């Protein structure tokens, strides 16, 4: 064999080896594709344990080990069963698209899958899928998943931080108080919620903790002032009744955060204000107003208050000789109010003698601040009930 013939033989051998390798590669790819596709044809069943109060979204588990898709974990054969437990939504996802959802518990069959099954009669489709995989070097070109979404009421969402907000009370005026919030929420639109998350999601992942709340929780906090304004101005709820109107408060909070929460498919299910405390000035205003209203509505209560004031004034005047004149002057003023109420007839002469030596004065019949009846033709510095300064009301 001369040098030229040897060279031609080597070229031919190399070319044959290359062709055999290419053919072998094709055969191997087809074999792998068909084997992988057949492994995906065992009918399966999918389920989840209760998601409880910890998980919001969780991918479904396969129940049968023999039917586990060893060729691909992302293929669900047509005819496979899906178990949907109580308090759970199920989402069927085919090639990245949500193709169906279930909100009623029960046993369902996956029949919208793009992967047919030999076991359910889809032979042509299976062979087509195998050659489709061959074109992509044996890799699958489709993906099917089942996700469960929590439909339960998720309880006890709270935070350690106090909120300080004004409350435009319809009776007491602007009050200022601090409080913390505790609320529960529910997923009402699993499709929109999943589109915002797209993966396994825990309650902690979504809401954070009481020491480190995340965006959805912070949004509720940020809209509490708006919600409380609705309670005060629209629903006319006075502060003492605020804690008993939980349904109104829930409606107001949902209305305030609807722009942020509605696109995510979640709503506030219940809400409570905890550790509610008025600041000192607001507390005194509420107490004075409530006392004044009590005396205005009940003359007997006002008479008792005046009588108590007379007794204390007498004791004070008797125990302090230097202040006796001032003490009995105040006693005359109080007895005038008591005389109008018919509770201190014995001291009325003091007022009568004093009034006979002075010019009559004109003033309000009732306190302009609390509505308590006032003595006629007598100038008072303060209301005997709410202690408001009323000197400017006389002429």
Please list, in sequence order, all residues whose beta carbon lies within 8 angstroms of the beta carbon of residue 256, skipping any fewer than 6 positions away: 223, 224, 226, 227, 230
Are both 161 and 268 inside the same structural domain?
yes
Would you place residue 137 in the very low, low, confident or very high pLDDT band (cuts 50, 70, 90)? very low
Instruction: Give the burial class of 10: count Cβ atoms within 10 A of its Cβ; 0-12 exposed, 13-18 middle, 19 or more buried.
Output: exposed
Q: Which of 110, 131, 150 is the last residue of a domain?
A: 150
Half-sphere exposure at residue 204, Cβ-oriented, CA atoms within 13 angstroms = 4
Q: How many domains, in total, are found in the chain?
A: 3
State the pLDDT at residue 33.
44
Does residue 199 belong to any structural domain of this protein? Answer: yes
b/e code 273-285 from CB counts within 10 Å (16+ = b): beeeebeeebeeb
Last residue of a domain, one of 278, 310, 345: 278
* Residues 224-252: tens digit of each pLDDT: 999 999 999 999 999 989 989 999 999 99
User: What residue has token string 């797209």?
Assistant: 198
**Per the domain annotation, does 26 fall within a domain?**
no
**How far apart, in whole angstroms, are the C-alpha atoms of residue 17 and residue 19?**
5
288 and 363 together in one domain: yes
For residue 41, pLDDT over 70 is answered with no
Predicted local distance difference test score (pLDDT) of residue 141: 53
Same domain, 224 and 265: yes
Task: Give domain status of residue 19, yes or no.
Answer: no
Same-domain pairing of 198 and 241 = yes
Q: Is residue 72 part of a domain?
A: yes
129: which 2 tokens?
């899928």
**Residue at 6 is within a domain:** no
Shared-domain flag, residues 270 and 181:
yes
Both 142 and 114 in one domain: the answer is yes
Domain extent, residue 209, equals 154-278
Note whether 179 and 193 are same-domain residues: yes
Residues 189 and 266 in one domain: yes
Angle at which helix 348-356 crosses helix 324-341, to 10 degrees, equals 100
Point out the domain boundary residue: 150, 166, 186.
150
Evaluate if residue 120 carries a pLDDT over 50.
Answer: no
Average pLDDT of the segment spanning 132-160:
75
Instruction: Find the CATH number of the domain harbouring 224.
Output: 3.30.479
Per-residue pLDDT reduced to its tens digit, 3-26: 554 444 334 434 444 443 333 333
Question: Would you say residue 232 lies in a domain?
Answer: yes
Does 129 map to a domain?
yes
Beta-bridged to residue 108, according to DSSP, are: 82
pTM higher than 0.85, yes or no?
Answer: no
102-116: pLDDT as tens digits:
889 998 887 754 544
287 and 389, same domain (yes or no): yes
> What is the predicted pLDDT for the residue at 81?
85
Q: How far is CA 166 from CA 171, 172, 227, in A?
A: 14, 12, 11
* pLDDT for 250: 95
- Report the chain's terminal Cα–Cα distance, integer Å: 142
Domain match, 224 and 197 both? yes
- Reported confidence tier of residue 135, pLDDT bands at 50, 70, 90: very low
341-357 pLDDT tens trace? 444 444 444 344 444 44
Using alpha carbons, select from 343, 318, 326 the residue that is nearest to residue 381.
Answer: 326
Q: Per residue in 349-388, pLDDT tens?
A: 434 444 444 566 677 878 877 777 777 767 788 877 666 7
Q: Give the pLDDT confidence of 282-316 residue by residue, as tens digits.
A: 998 888 888 777 766 666 655 555 555 555 555 56
Structural tokens at position 201: 């999601």
Q: What is the pLDDT of residue 15?
A: 47
267 is a domain residue:
yes
């Amino acid at each position: 064999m001369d040098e030229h013939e040897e060279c031609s033989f080597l070229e031919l051998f190399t070319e044959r080896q290359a062709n055999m390798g290419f053919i072998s590669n094709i055969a191997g790819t087809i074999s792998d594709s068909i084997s992988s596709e057949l492994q995906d044809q065992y009918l399966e069943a999918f389920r989840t344990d209760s998601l409880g109060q910890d998980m919001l979204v969780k991918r479904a588990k396969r129940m049968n080990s023999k039917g586990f898709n060893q060729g691909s974990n992302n293929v669900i054969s047509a005819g496979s069963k899906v178990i949907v437990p109580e308090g759970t939504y199920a989402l069927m996802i085919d090639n990245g698209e949500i193709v169906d959802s279930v909100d009623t518990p029960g046993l369902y069959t996956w029949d919208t899958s793009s992967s047919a099954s030999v076991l359910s009669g889809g032979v042509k489709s299976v062979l087509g899928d195998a050659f489709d995989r061959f074109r992509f070097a044996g890799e699958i070109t489709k993906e099917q998943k089942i996700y469960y979404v929590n439909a339960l009421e998720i309880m006890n969402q709270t935070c350690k931080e106090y909120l300080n907000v004004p409350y435009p009370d319809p009776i007491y005026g602007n009050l200022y108080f601090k409080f913390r919030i505790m609320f529960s929420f529910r997923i009402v639109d699993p499709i929109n919620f999943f589109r915002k998350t797209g993966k396994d999601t825990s309650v902690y992942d979504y809401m954070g903790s009481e020491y480190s709340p995340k965006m959805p929780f912070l949004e509720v906090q940020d809209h509490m002032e708006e919600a409380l304004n609705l309670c005060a101005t629209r629903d006319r709820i006075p502060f003492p009744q605020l804690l008993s109107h939980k349904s109104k408060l829930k409606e107001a909070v949902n209305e305030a955060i609807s722009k942020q929460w509605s696109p995510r498919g979640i709503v506030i299910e219940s809400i409570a204000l905890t550790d509610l405390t008025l600041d000192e000035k607001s507390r005194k205003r509420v107490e004075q107003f409530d006392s004044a209203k009590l005396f205005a509505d009940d003359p007997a209560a006002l008479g008792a208050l005046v009588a108590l004031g007379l007794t204390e004034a007498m004791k004070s005047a008797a125990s302090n000789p230097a202040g006796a004149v001032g003490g009995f002057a105040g006693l005359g003023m109080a007895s005038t109010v008591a005389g109008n109420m018919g509770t201190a007839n014995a001291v009325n002469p003091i007022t009568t003698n004093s009034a006979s030596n002075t010019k009559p004065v004109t003033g309000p019949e009732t306190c302009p601040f609390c509505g308590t009846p006032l003595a006629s033709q007598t100038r008072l510095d303060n209301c005997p009930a709410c202690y408001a300064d009323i000197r400017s009301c006389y002429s």
